[in-house]
Amino acid sequence: MASPSQQLPPGWTAEWDPASQRYLFIQASTGRSQWEVPTPAPAQSIDHAPSVSPPPYATHHGKRRQYAAGQTQVYYGAGDALGDQYGGLGVPQQQQPAATAQLFTPGLAAEGGFAGQQQVPQASYYAPQQEPQYINAPGFGQEPTYHPPNAPIHHLTDQFGQMGMGQKPLHLTTTNLLTSPPDPRELVRPPPEIRLPANACITTSPYANADPSYQRCTINAIPTTSSMLNKSKIPLGLVITPYRTLKEGEPPVPVVTDTVIARCRRCRTYINPYVQFIDNGNRWRCCMCSMSNEVPQLFDWDQIRNQPGDRWARDELNHSVVEFVAPTEYMVRPPQPAVYVILIDVSHTAVQSGMVATATRTILENLDRIPNEDERTKVAIIAYDISLYFFSMPPGTTESTMLVVSDVDDVFLPKPTDLLINLTEARQSLESLLGRINDMFQDNHTVGSAMGPALQAGFKLMAPIGGKIMVLSSSLPNVGAGSLKNREDLKILGTSKESGLLQAASPFYKTFAIECSRAQVSVDMFLFSAAYQDVASLACLPHYTSGQTYFYPAFNAARSEDAIKFAHEFGEVLAMPIMLEAVMRVRASKGLRMASFHGNFFVRSTDLLAMPAVPTDQSYAIEIQIEDTLTQPFVVMQTAVLHTTCHGERRIRVITLALPTTSSLTEVFASADQVAIATLLANKAVERSLTHKLEDARDAVHQRLVEILSSYKSSMTSAGAGANAQLAISENLRMLPVLVLGLLKNVGIRQSAQIPPDLRAYAQALLTTLPSQTLIPYIHPTFFSLHNMQPEAGTVGEQGVILPTPLPLTSERLERHGLYLIEDGQTIFLWIGRDAVPQLVMDVFNLPNYEVLRGGKTTLPVLDNDFSRRVNAIIQKTREMRRGVYYPHLYVVKEDGEPPLRLWALSCLIQDRADVLPSYQQFIGQLKDKVNGANNY
């Protein structure tokens, strides 16, 4: 058959498609393809108009800084690819014809199209040489909004099956990662919509399905078979944060107080908005196992008013997250009081660093914040160096007596009473003691740490009740049980043996942790050493007892920033409303099974997670297997946490998530949640680094990403198994590669021979406990330009302080006269360029010029000018906006300052190349080669 290209309008080509036995027509300038023969466009009426109308972002301005020629032009598209423009400069902006970026339909690119895409106008790296300006200078423009160029889009919904449930299916949009740069704003958008079939829910309440901050799934449309799940290569899992903190304005979790708890007789599911009422409302059908159950007699009775109640107003039928007050059958013993045993290292280094003084002052200042509503809370203080120091505080006095136990090999309690005291009754003596502890040990020259024996003593004190042990330690434990040796060996850093340094050196820490878990005792570690402290071993205790590890390397309270950070975080932990004696179980619809668990807990039986004290904002990840074909139109996953509140009430928190099922791979990809996937991969990577090697962990994460991209290419694009000039993925997964790159560059698993084992072990503890909201910035930091931020940034709007527009994480956005903020939730860097004008330095730091500014840890002054107030407001918002107790340090980083600090800050810009680690463009190129290679052998 003759080619019809002779009759085509200019700019169109025809390609024979053997699969459909017909011609496909492709517009070379846009990559758009169609089956119908194109018709010529009407003649342009404007003489100088470009042949293709330029997109709105194709305007240019002489002041706009441009990217390096060749290196990134292809990546960001032609011309002023990021689409920003500086306004308000008083210079008329000239509209220029733009070379429209070549767009491709996956696998259907025009011949020579990709080569043509490489041929783009060259641009200089730096903007035209001008005097550096500063936001308060007259006429200086504002930071533009970051708009990535339009990604190549091809609607595949006509070519692939859809989810046939009477619901409008999710729209799948394909994007080409080679020409579509990451947009940081996508990470704060909600996950793909959950589209349940009609009548799945018995209520119209907007709270009927779990908010993603409590529970989110990696896929929001569950494939009906395991073979389909395996074909997609997307890991199926849940990310759960059952006790997340409530921000101002958020609705509290409703509490059902009448102790009427309806549960399925067979699978023990709690009644929820996805059950069905049958038999005239006298029975209900379980949404997980379809068992028919009786509705409890008191379910329709209002016990407060003692009259018939409205069933449909019950919280458990309208809310996916609900808390039941538990009746006595849910108690093994009466609810226990909250118990806090605080172990304070008083060795020479601890006292000299100021840790002891800061800790005791923080406890004293937060006594009123320690949960004690029922006035049953108990507290004990034990100090230790190479001996143990107990304090007897009889109630009703202001006196306390110190009792010394030097035999640390056989720990005993020196007195049966008055060591663990009621916080209310012995408040005066406790306050008096806290004011004196630092003075008692001020001249202590003892070096050494009997932390293990101190833990045993604290355990003996509280074992009958349970509670929380808080350990404050400034040195490596080296006396008695659990003593450790310095095993830091620089020669094995970066080798296959390095993962051994991330495992516990002594079996004591795991066996003691399991003992604690059995006795309902949780352990928090606060570590302060300037030298090696073996965080990997010590973090075992929080890991198995649902505690948390906090690390303050080289702590020195003489630096006010160190003292403020520790005091803030320790105070928040003391005041935290903890959940005691908790057990957690996740149930799911028939055909789904909870396969493996990640997080801080001890797996007591196959699926029962023991948590002696659940802190707020701690996250858990659970992998799910599809065991049988799912026949229901939707599935339900329900997390139940039985616990005692810190004011002595037994409760059950229930979180229910309902998701549709689908037999369409299109729907699976369109519903994938990139944030949940990255969270699950972070947990899996840490576990693999401990069971195998760090290199294995990196390879496994990288390989999973390659498999997802390969699956998408072969299943969702017409390229199939052939090589392709594109790297296609669905729009909702566009940020997954940069998140994986951020994870591979994170201190926890990064390839490097320079990372101290303590820092790596602490980073791994964060990767496995942070909720997604805090974890994502930890692996994909936030980057703001402050010197030219938009006028409203730093001011108060409806949602609080308005933040600047986030920038892509590349140093190409750093200008020599600029001021930037880079933060990852744990640390904030204020980067200042060497050509910063004196007025900027004066307005922010109250110093005459850049030369006298010192880099390093600092507290920013609040000055009497608008810019200073806005910068301080942004820093304050950054510290407060995320869940968790963390209070990030602020470092000033000068462009020509200390190399270690500069490199640390620049390591947050994960789209740049660093050491052996690739830039984002290189990483995408490697992925494309792997994906094309994966299908060709």
H helix runs in 717-756, sequence order: 736-744
Three-class SS state of 356: helix
* Residue 481 · residue 508 · CB < 8 Å: yes
pLDDT 10s digits, 192-241: 999 999 889 998 899 999 999 999 999 999 999 999 999 999 999 999 99
648 close to 376: Cβ distance less than 8 angstroms:
yes
**Does residue 652 register a pLDDT over 60?**
yes
Q: What is the mean pLDDT of residues 252-265?
A: 90
Give the tokens for residue 778.
């930890």
Task: Tell the residue number behind the tokens 């795991």, with chain if given.
Answer: 510
CB neighbours of residue 375 within 10 Å: 12
The CA distances from residue 225 to 100, 192, 236, 709, in Å, are 43, 21, 12, 20
Helix 920-934 / helix 694-716 crossing angle, nearest 10 deg: 60
Furthest CA-CA distance within the chain: 104
CB 667 within 8 A of CB 221: yes
* 272, 656 contact by CB (below 8 A): yes
Give CA–CA dist 889/879, Å, rounded: 9
Higher-confidence residue of 414 and 64: namely 414
Q: Among candidates 778, 323, 768, which has minimal Cα distance to 547? A: 768
pLDDT at 405: 92
Q: 84 in helix, strand or coil?
A: coil
Average of per-residue pLDDT across 362-370: 94
- The residue that leads in pLDDT, 137 or 317, is 317
SS (H, E, C) 180-230: CCCCHHHHHCCCCCCCCCCCCCCCCCCCCCCCCCCEEECECCEECCHHHHH
What's the rounded mean pLDDT across residues 313-341?
90
pLDDT for 875: 94
How many residues are there in the chain?
937
Helix (H, G, I), strand (E, B) or coil at 457: helix
pLDDT tier, 915 (very low <50, low <70, confident <90, very high otherwise): confident
CA angle 852, 856, 858 (to 5 degrees): 90
Rounded-to-5 percentages of helix, strand, coil across the chain: 30, 20, 55
CA angle 733, 739, 740 (to 5 degrees): 100
Amino acid found at 167: Q
Fill in the DSSP letter of residue 89.
S
User: Is residue 641 a contact partner of residue 583, using CB atoms and an 8 Å limit?
Assistant: yes
Task: Judge whether 219 and 234 are in contact, CB under 8 Å.
Answer: yes
Helix or strand (DSSP H, E) at 299: none
Helix-helix angle 694-716:674-691, to 10 degrees: 140
**pLDDT (tens digit, 9 = 90+) per residue, 822-865?**
999 999 999 999 999 999 999 999 999 999 999 999 999 999 99
Residue 759 and residue 551: Cα distance in Å, rounded? 9
CA angle 240, 616, 828 (to 5 degrees): 95
**Confidence band (pLDDT; 50, 70, 90) for 583?**
very high
Query: What are the angstrom distances between the C-alpha of 295 and each of 199, 204, 266, 652?
Result: 20, 21, 14, 19
Per the CB < 8 A criterion, the answer to whether 343 and 471 are in contact is yes
| Residues in CB range of 400: below 8 A, 6 or more apart | 391, 392, 393, 429, 430, 432, 433
Task: List Cα–Cα distances, 487 to 532, 536, 694, in angstroms.
Answer: 8, 11, 18
Q: Could you report the per-residue pLDDT of 657-668, keeping only the tens digit for each?
A: 999 999 999 999
Average pLDDT over residues 783-809: 91
In this prediction, residue 35 carries a pLDDT of: 66
User: How does DSSP classify residue 414?
Assistant: S
Q: Supply the pLDDT for residue 103.
A: 35
Question: Under DSSP, is residue 390 helix (H, G, I), strand (E, B) or coil?
Answer: strand
Strand 33-34 with 22-27, pairing = antiparallel
Residue 108 reports pLDDT greater than 50: no
In angstroms, the CA 834 to CA 839 distance is: 13
Give, in degrees to the nearest 5, the angle at Cα 447 between 444 and 453. Answer: 100
Looking at residues 607-633, what average pLDDT do you find?
93
> Does pLDDT of 884 surpass 90?
no
Confidence of residue 281 (pLDDT cuts 50, 70, 90): confident
Q: Count the Cβ atoms, other than its own, within 10 Å of residue 220.
A: 25
Residue 169 predicted with pLDDT over 90: no
Measured distance CA(710)–CA(156) in Å, rounded: 17
* Alpha-carbon radius of gyration of the chain: 30
pLDDT, the chain, mean = 82
Arithmetic mean of pLDDT, 528-547: 92
Q: Is the pLDDT of residue 47 over 60?
A: no
